[in-house]
A and B are shown apart, each in its own frame.
Chain A
Amino acid sequence: MPKRSDINSILILGAGPIVIGQACEFDYSGAQACQALREEGYRVILVNSNPATIMTDPAMADATYIEPVTWEIVEKIIEKERPDAILPTMGGQTALNCALDLNKHGVLDKYNVELIGASCEAIDKAENRELFDRAMKRIGLETPAHGMAHNMEEAYAALDKVGFPCIVRPSFTLGGSGGGIAYNKEEFIEICTRGLELSPNNELLIDESLIGWKEYELEVVRDRKDNCIIVCTIENFDAMGVHTGDSITVAPSQTLTDKEYQILRNAAIAVLREIGVETGGSNVQFGMCPKTGRLVIIEMNPRVSRSSALASKATGFPIARVAAKLAIGYTLDELRNEITGGATPASFEPTIDYVVTKIPRFTFEKFPETNDRITTQMKSVGEVMAIGRTFQESIQKALRGLEVGVSGFDPILETGLSDSLDILKRELKDAGGERVWYVADAFRQGWSVETVSELTGIDPWFLVQIEDLMFEEARIAQMSLEQMDKDTLFRLKQKGFSDSRMAALLNIPEQKMLDYRHKLGVRPVYKRVDTCAAEFASTTAYMYSTYEEECEALPSDRKKIMVLGGGPNRIGQGIEFDYCCVHAALAMREDGFETIMVNCNPETVSTDYNISDRLYFEPVTFEDVIEIVHLEKPHGVIVQFGGQTPLNLAKRLEEAGVPIIGTSADAIDLAEDRERFQRMIQKLGLKQPPNCIVRSVEESIAAAERISYPLVVRPSYVLGGRSMEIVYNEEELRRYMRTSVKVGNESPVLLDYFLNAAIEIDVDLVSDGKQVVVGAIMQHIEQAGVHSGDSACSLPPYNLSEEVQNRIREQVSMLAMELKVVGLMNTQLAYQDDEIYVIEVNPRASRTVPFVSKCIGVSLAKVAARCMAGTSLAEQGFVKEIVPKNFAVKEAVFPFNKFPGVDPILGPEMKSTGEVMGVGRTFAEAFAKAQLGAGEEVKAGGAVFISVRDADKWQLTDVAGKLHALGFKLLATQGTAAVIAEAGLPVTSVNKVNEGRPHIVDMIKNDEVQLIVNTTEGKQAIADSSIIRRTALRHDVSCTTTIAGALAVCEALEFGDKLSVYTIQELHAEL
């Protein structure tokens, strides 16, 4: 069936900001969909509030709206663009929910727009548990015993049916958020209460516990002629009870016979037919009792998903691309698989001849107050994927690709403690994010596979392989390097042992291990991912390393540029860096280089097959990179775009003779080494906040006296503000030095005077070594002290004079020239009392590069990559800063609702997972949209609760006056109320939590407060007020924790709901 000619324009809904459970896999899918539809000649209209995405690049769609993905805003876009159809299956749950809302509010009917890819009925049937359950019964599939509940009474009734332990899941939430496993009544009440609140339709599903069952996922694609294929089967290493996003997963399935697999396959296809997914990809999840083989269906997603992105990367079959083509009427037999250069059709099931392992990456260290056990609610923030010829090789590659300081199954258990074995048992039974290492430790303790399997529910098939690796480790540890002959070494490398892990076991430096291996001539070969297990010759240039006889890489002799990616996403290093890597690769390809991408993150666009000429899906570690360099012999290697991951390798790679292009490794070190950096600042006559480096507690107290409080304290060499705090007095400093960090000669601590009323500024620039061009000056909305990644910012600055901006331009240019930057540089500055202070300089890609690029209409990453490859700024014609006339505001998005118990206060440690961008003719409009996009919807009217620290009282009257004028009833704590009353404004005084009841928390719980302005300082005050913020979070009451933020909220509210929508293309045309 040819493509549909009755539709001309299609609106694609994006996924919005990166949050836990919905990450950059939807940029990967969305970008593929945009390309797939545009090449068919459709007019593509795109809405996505996330500026760090490739899909929102102006060339990806005909009209790109970086606007909130809410039905109200999307209606405005529909009104303006009049699309014929909407494709809602590429933007995760956000897009599906938006599509349902558009339908509910009659927008689809009003403008006569059709949903393609999935109908409202299908979405409803898949998402509404009751409808789903009935549908499954109709096709003879069993679902777990369960009940529905819309209130506690119904919840108890359901409990009677399923018994303890039971799994509670709220409907329509991301990543199963708000769910949990209840073993007793107390937990049951807690989880149900939270779930009812979180579910948009106040609905809970209470399930029979299938804890310990095996879990399988099938990725199914269906076309309008009912042709169905299974792209990939994924088996979860972690048993049921752990969210699949938090599970280690393996493809293909390992422990199903063909008879069983075919029954799952038939069932998965039957599910798509029954749910009514007419075209596109879906994910179907099954649970299976390992003892009896009893099979139940867990859920299905009628859209592309995290798993489909993984399946695409695991098999080389681009699900999103194919799904988009099917949505416009093609059938599978009419499509070819582009990855294999068309050697294979789209209408077949990929078969693979390797093993893929995905391991999630967690960030519990950022949220110490929360429960760090992994459950049915997803908590991981990123993932790594590895390909090996065997499971052992695959999982060991994945472990070292995770970048959590391990190079394989490094020991984790502290042995020798009286309760070591109890800890081990608990870690196995009640999984945390590090269970897989405890599994290895259990084998080191001599525990049997049966014991470990019983405690963990992990299939013994996987466990025997880990046990075997431990036997190998023990053998290595008994050896000396010289005893290791070529055959032994080759066999160990086949099992996936890294040089670094073997070196640790042999107690030698990694370099020695590597040199020895090279001396013996043991090197990896590269095999191709071709979807057909080599049955057909294909031109795919998607490769992975292994230790075998034949190498298929066939490197060319063209001039090559290699880009090192950022590895798994984490807080502080996410999609923004991948965006830069993608742009670097695209620019280099445009300039005629052969491009080589090295990365191991399956969610990303950088690991899409068509971004670079050759893709090596490999861990970004020294060993893995050096082997590819050895084979490919690139002309240049780019390390400054992938975040800290490749930067950390820069020095060693350079020493090993790898041609790193751009800013030198030494300049990177200069910027990061505080003492060298300070000397440079002084040499240039610039200012830094008074600061000092200390190596002991006593030293710190003395230094603090000199610098004076408050102080920003942090360990040296950190990214994302790990362990960074602000201390206001000696007592707090002592506590910090005692408990928060282990200070010593090797790990000094930095003290900086805290500019507590400063405006913070971010500047991105690009230089070719001869000339500097500022990309943009961004003014933070939150004052200094909030991590730049967590702060909202405005481009251009919204209240910084031109004169100050010029001084900033001058200073950053001096810094760039001094550092001999070739490529990108980001500078953070603070402005207070008419002084400009340099806080930090990073001569590399920064988190704001994509945002800036979207605002100024020039890809800074591309410009920078070209500078690095030797094309000057003048030659590129980029010689002058572009200052937009409109405003754009970037706002951060936080995962607090996934971590109950965490205080949602902003501070120097970065906690956000993603960002949104709002654009407007004025700052107010842009800010309002950014808030909306971030899910912080504030409406004027109702009551506002205000409680501010003394330092902010001077601005209090201003804020209170504005809020009053906006129609808010003012509520305040006594001290704050007194100041407001003095200004002649009506205010009601309310109790703090420790002042008797009813108090402010009661009022929040009773929905008597609609907005909170709460600024605090000092450890104790913060702790005291944390209950207010946590309650506000649970009750979905907007809460701003800075006075600057409150003022911006006022501006946005004053602007009201007269929001207009703009395409990025029209805004760029105005530049």
Chain B
Amino acid sequence: MKRSFHSAFFHPDFAFYREIELIIPAVLALEDGSIFRGRAIGAHGVSSGEVVFNTSMTGYQEILTDPSYARQIVTLTYPHIGNTGTNSEDNESANVWASGLVIRDLSRMASNWRNEASLEDFLKERNVVAIAEIDTRRLTRLLRDKGPLNGCLLSGDALAEKGEAYALEQAKAFPGLKGMDLAKEVSTKASFEWTEGLWVWSEGHSDVALSKPFHVVAYDFGAKHNILRMIAQRNCKVTVVPAQTSAEDVMALQPDGVFLSNGPGDPEPCDYAIAATKRFLELDIPVFGICLGCQILALACGAKTVKMRLGHHGANHPVQSIDDGTVFITSQNHGFAVDEASLPANLRATHRSLFDGSLQGIERTDKPAFAFQGHPEAGPGPHDITSLFDHFIELMKARVSR
């Protein structure tokens, strides 16, 4: 084996001077004064938000399009992002809601049989400011130790003009998410019917056109599409309504069940949703909540919510059923949580996190209502606990047979 270098090893036609990529600088500044210098990807400009991380190794497209990330700059801990490009099947909503993306390495190419556009183009097209080539593990450790920090991404001409100090100023100026009602911002403005079913390996998504025995009205506080697909797939007619729809308007639709979706921000200011939920409980309508919806149900029952020092953002979180001890690996994305100590007598804990013991599931003992803090709909993440949707169907069945 010959093992010495000689430039003759390169063919004379070898493109020695491959066009050297123009590296456009970008910075991420945090409210604590930390600065991360990297390379601009996606759209260039300025964007502020609460900086959080997500440890999922797959599903960046789903994460970017998850409305729960509104006003958040999301850092992905897996270093290679963009490997599989993007496609029209994997969106969790029509837009990118995250305020920005922070990664270690943008993939040089997208390689997947379903790829339609590279992540870089996807970000540009949707005007998402993003940064790559920073020590994302250092950032994650910082966020882990200090909790979510407000931050600002600044890149391209804006950075050249205004400088790092401006980014720092903006990071400090960001008001934070506590007390922020974002649900009504990201919610649909008008109600509509949802018919798309779950993704199938060789077929993609297709509309569910079956008997549709139940009618579910789904509150959109920033609902992920996969939740709607999960419900539709179970033979339900799904009507999606804006966040601030009143209980009366919903009841006029004659629902068999009401679904409270996930969404961004603090649940406490969502008084309209809390009030509506109280009404559904009075009327014994089956209620199922996910994530923000879980917190709203808890608040409607008189429990309290808190901002977590360290939120859950990943697809590997073990959650245990308190009833039978079963462990589910779940997708999680929340910075607020229901305080278990505040549960009233008629609201019992059904699931807990095996990571930190935090409350993950609740159920009314006197009403057909329950909720889950994590994301049973996956997208991204494991499908271990999709059975909760079946439970929702059972509650509706039970109500009909009553």
Contact = CB atoms under 8 A, between A and B. Distances in A.
B109 A461 contact: yes
Given A255-B83, A348-B355, A550-B135, A353 B78 contact: yes
A350 interface: yes
B112 A257 contact: yes
Interface stretch (A157-165, A439-447, A592-600, A811-819): A439-447
A261 interface: yes
A362 to B, nearest CB: 12
Given A254-B83, A258-B381, A474-B16, A333 B320 contact: yes
A520 B144 CA distance: 32
Contacts of A348: 316-318, 329, 354-355
Contact of B111 (A225, A255, A344, A550): A255
Contacts of A111: none
A511 interface: no
Given A254-B83, A332-B327, A351-B55, A474 B10 contact: yes
A411 B137 contact: no
B320 A446 contact: no
B382 interface: yes
Contacts of A505: 5
Contacts of A690: none
Nearest to A407: B3
Given A347-B327, A390-B104, A444 B84 contact: no
Interface string B114-158: 100000000000000000001111101100110000000000000
Contacts of B4: 410, 504
Given A348-B318, A415-B9, A263 B201 contact: yes
Contacts of B320: 333, 347
Interface in A405-426: 405-406, 410-416
Most buried by A among B354, B380, B383: B354
A897 B359 CA distance: 58
A445 B14 contact: yes
A39 to B, nearest CB: 22
Interface string A344-384: 11011111111100000000000000000000000000000
B252 interface: no
B314 A536 contact: no
A464 interface: yes
A351 B78 contact: yes
A258 B62 contact: yes
A572 to B, nearest CB: 18
A410 B58 contact: no
Contacts of A527: 137
B302 interface: no
Nearest to B138: A550
A535 B148 CA distance: 12
B239 interface: no
B16 A257 contact: no
A446 B104 contact: no
A265 interface: yes
B202 interface: yes
A351 B9 contact: no
A639 B52 CA distance: 45
B382 A265 contact: yes
Interface in B296-350: 314-318, 320, 325-327, 329
Contact of B136 (A254, A353, A459, A532): A353
A412 B107 CA distance: 28
A333 B144 contact: no
B77 A533 contact: yes
A414 B1 CA distance: 9
A295 interface: yes
Contacts of B144: 534-537
B243 interface: no
B56 interface: yes
A292 B202 contact: yes
B108 interface: yes
Given A256-B112, A293-B113, A353-B78, A474 B327 contact: no
Contact of B316 (A289, A349, A413, A504): A349
B380 A258 contact: yes
A1022 to B, nearest CB: 28
A477 B140 CA distance: 37
B277 interface: no
Of the four ranges (under 10, 10 to 19, 20 to 34, 35 or more), the interface on chain A belongs to: 35 or more
Nearest to A453: B111
Interface string B369-385: 00000000011111100
A534 B77 contact: yes
A391 B201 contact: no
B190 interface: no
Contacts of A475: 16
B55 A355 contact: no
Interface in B11-52: 11, 13-16, 18
Contact of A461 (B56, B107, B354): B107
B135 A258 contact: no
A491 to B, nearest CB: 9
A352 B355 CA distance: 17
A988 interface: no
A229 interface: yes
Nearest to B141: A534
A390 B199 contact: no
Interface string B45-81: 0000000010111110110000000000000011110
Interface string A456-495: 0001110011001001001101100000000000000000
A813 B136 CA distance: 57
B283 interface: no
B90 interface: yes
A252 interface: yes
B201 A295 contact: yes
Interface string A373-406: 0000000000000000111000000000000111
B252 to A, nearest CB: 36
Nearest to A506: B5
Most buried by A among B9, B15, B112: B9
Contacts of A405: 1, 3
Contacts of B57: 252, 351-352
B72 to A, nearest CB: 16
A37 B18 CA distance: 58
Contacts of A441: 9
A460 B109 contact: yes
Given A535-B55, A535-B144, A549-B138, A465 B8 contact: no
A408 to B, nearest CB: 10
B401 interface: no
A445 B9 CA distance: 8
A333 B318 contact: yes
A461 B325 CA distance: 42
Contacts of A549: 134-135, 138
Contact of A548 (B135, B199, B329): B135
Contacts of B381: 258, 262
Identify the 8 closest CB pairs spanning chains A and B, nearest first: A258-B59, A258-B380, A461-B111, A550-B138, A533-B77, A258-B58, A349-B316, A549-B135
14 contacts: A258-B315, A293-B113, A354-B79, A389-B104, A411-B9, A416-B8, A444-B11, A446-B14, A446-B15, A474-B16, A477-B7, A527-B137, A535-B314, A537-B145
Given A258-B58, A404-B1, A412-B3, 13 more contacts: A258-B56, A258-B62, A258-B315, A259-B199, A262-B383, A332-B318, A333-B327, A348-B318, A351-B57, A445-B11, A478-B16, A550-B138, A550-B141
Interface of B: 1-11, 13-16, 18, 53, 55-59, 61-62, 77-80, 83-84, 87, 89-90, 104-105, 107-109, 111-114, 134-138, 140-141, 144-145, 199, 201-202, 314-318, 320, 325-327, 329, 354-355, 378-383
Interface of A: 1, 225-227, 229, 252-263, 265-266, 289-295, 331-333, 344-345, 347-355, 389-391, 404-406, 410-416, 434, 441, 444-446, 459-461, 464-465, 468, 471, 474-475, 477-478, 504-505, 507, 527, 532-537, 548-550, 552
